Amino acid sequence: MSGRVPIESQRVDAPLTSSATFLVLSVTDAPDAVKTVRSTLADIDGLAKNVAIRDLGASFACTVGIGSDVWDKVTGLPKPSELHPFPVVKGAKHTAVSTPGDLLFHIRSERRDLNFEFEKQLLDLLGDSVKVVDETVGFRYFDVRDLLGFVDGTANPVGPAVPASILVAEEDAAAVGGSYIVIQKYVHDMKGWKTLKAEQQEAIIGRTKLDNVELDDAPAGHQASHKTLNTIEDENGVEHDILRDNMPFGSPGSGQFGTYFIGYSRRLWVIEKMLQRMYIGEPAGMHDRILDYSTPLTGTTFFAPAASILAGLDLD
């Protein structure tokens, strides 16, 4: 990645930025809707370059995700082995809802106007072939904190661990170079959260609030923190990471304060296991206490194919 050229299309490891737009669309039944979607996705790299070249220092990037329900007709390719609709996760107290969405555009840069311009041009091209399901504009909050006041994203992989954690490899030949994406739009009960002492908040999160120091895990069988419940190991004790690019969103005037969760992973089961542990609990019945103050409004799964796959969609 060079400052002389735009960021490549579908770079799921593009830098964290100060602004992002999360655009979820459904494909309509309009005549030639699928054809229009295919041609637009095939030229997404050109559209991104058209916007990114205006300020190369703004780190503009766009990642496209395609949902399970439209994968076959939009791509005509074998479906990634783990791709399926977001499953409802129902715990004793809280539920992770499943909501519609055929296409995801994760648009981000250091400039809100670049994101705006790209989205405008994108929707002009797509026309009546799509319908907007959800549009959320996120922003960086101080030193990458969420609106609950804690640093967000500390557990992200770094260095060589990034592609190893987020890009599908030889285990699924048809999906090599792509990444699973899970999104959830959470709104926070700030009034309730503020009634807690800092020490109580820290116990829920698993880190200190001021300096982001990781706290020790609770003993087995006791209430686990958000940090602990989101630490995933396989049957061999190997820990698996995901890449989070979460963003705060909201409007003080309308009383809305939220976090847009977006997780990229080489293995979809890793994120789904996180959700099971959060909502059902580990052990069962001890759900993630952050859910007592954070309610999901959406839940959708996508797959971001390699750039070469998108570029080939308009060949037939």
Q: What is the pLDDT of residues 209-244, one digit of tens each?
A: 999 999 999 988 889 999 999 999 999 999 999 999
Does the pLDDT at position 1 exceed 50?
Answer: no
- Is 152 one of the catalytic residues? yes
Does the pLDDT at position 315 exceed 90?
Answer: no
Q: What is the pLDDT of residues 106-124, one digit of tens each?
A: 999 999 999 999 999 999 9
Q: Both tokens of residue 292? A: 């007592």
Does the pLDDT at position 185 exceed 70?
Answer: yes
User: Which residue among the candidates 152, 241, 245, 288 is catalytic per the annotation?
Assistant: 152
Mean pLDDT of 114-142: 98
Q: Both tokens of residue 241? A: 């990471």
**φ and ψ of 17, to 5 deg:** -125, 175
Q: Average pLDDT, whole number, for the chain?
A: 96
pTM for the full model? 0.97
Q: What is the pLDDT of residues 47-61, one digit of tens each?
A: 999 999 999 999 999
> 222 Cβ partners below 8 Å, 6+ apart?
286
Give pLDDT, residue 171. 96
Q: What is the pLDDT of residues 59-101, one digit of tens each?
A: 999 999 999 999 999 999 999 999 999 999 999 999 999 999 9
What is the C-alpha separation between 233 and 241, in angstroms, rounded? 9
Residue found under tokens 């609990």: 281
Give pLDDT, residue 316. 58
In the three-class reduction of DSSP (H, G, I as helix; E, B as strand; rest coil), residue 205 is classed as helix
Give pLDDT, residue 314. 82
Mean pLDDT of 290-295: 98
Encode 77-104: b = buried (16+ Cβ within 10 Å), e = exposed: eebbebbeebeebebeebebbbbbbbbb
Mean pLDDT of 129-143: 98
